[in-house]
Structure 1
Amino acid sequence: MSRREIRAQQQQGQPPVTLPLVVVTVEKGGTLIVTVDGSLFAPEAFAPAWRRSDFGRIMDRITDQRRTPVRVEVHESDGTSFTDIITPSPSRRTRPEPETANTETALETPAAPQLVEVAAEGFIPGEDIGVAIIVTHTDASHTGHARALLETAQFDASPTGEVVLIGRVSGNYEIVRHP
Structure 2
Amino acid sequence: MKVPIVLSVVHVAIDADGVLAVDVDGVPLDSEQTRTRDHLRHVIDEITSDLGAPVRVEVREADGSTFTDVVTPPTPAPAGAEQPPTPPRPALAGAGFRPGEEVALAYVVVRQNADAEGNASLNLPPALIAATRGGLVLLGMTSRTVTPFEAPA
TM-score (norm 2): 0.47
Greater relative CO, 1 or 2 (CA 8 Å, sep 6+): 2
Structure number, greater radius of gyration: 1
TM-score (norm 1): 0.40
